């Protein structure tokens, strides 16, 4: 039971990463990169992801399926948080001339799929 509570709290805190759409809106439209096609594409990708994410089942769905599904929901929420960070990073790189903030200054390869190792 303790493990389920810890996983739920961790995933809740991890879900606090702001939406890439909100992050893109916080950037300055006066930046020379703002009107570029790459920036427009990055903002469109962020809006599409945000719309898809809202259709995903949440914690209530996991509770309905039982205690073992909470781990699956927590893993899905963690994946969503990683995708939000990657998209916010992409929006910043394409739409802003400023250096990356600390929260987005990471190697994007850490979230890349790992090759499967089969015996």
- C-alpha dihedral sign at 4, 5, 9, 12: positive
Q: What is the chain's length?
A: 119
Computed over every residue of the chain, the mean pLDDT equals: 75
Q: Which of 64, 49, 62 is nearest to 17 (CA)?
A: 49
pLDDT digits (tens, 9 = 90+) for 61-105: 656 666 777 777 777 778 888 888 888 888 888 988 888 888 887
């Amino acid at each position: 039971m303790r493990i389920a509570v810890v996983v739920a709290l961790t995933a809740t805190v991890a879900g606090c990463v702001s939406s890439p759409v909100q992050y893109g809106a916080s950037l300055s439209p006066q930046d020379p990169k703002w009107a570029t096609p790459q920036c427009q594409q990055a903002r469109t990708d962020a809006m599409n992801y945000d719309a898809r994410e809202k259709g995903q089942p949440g914690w209530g769905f996991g509770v309905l399926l039982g205690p073992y599904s909470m781990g699956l929901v927590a893993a899905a929420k963690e994946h969503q948080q990683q995708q939000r960070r990657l998209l916010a990073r992409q929006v910043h790189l394409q739409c802003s001339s400023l250096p990356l903030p600390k929260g987005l200054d990471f190697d994007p390869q850490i979230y890349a799929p790992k090759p499967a190792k089969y015996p």
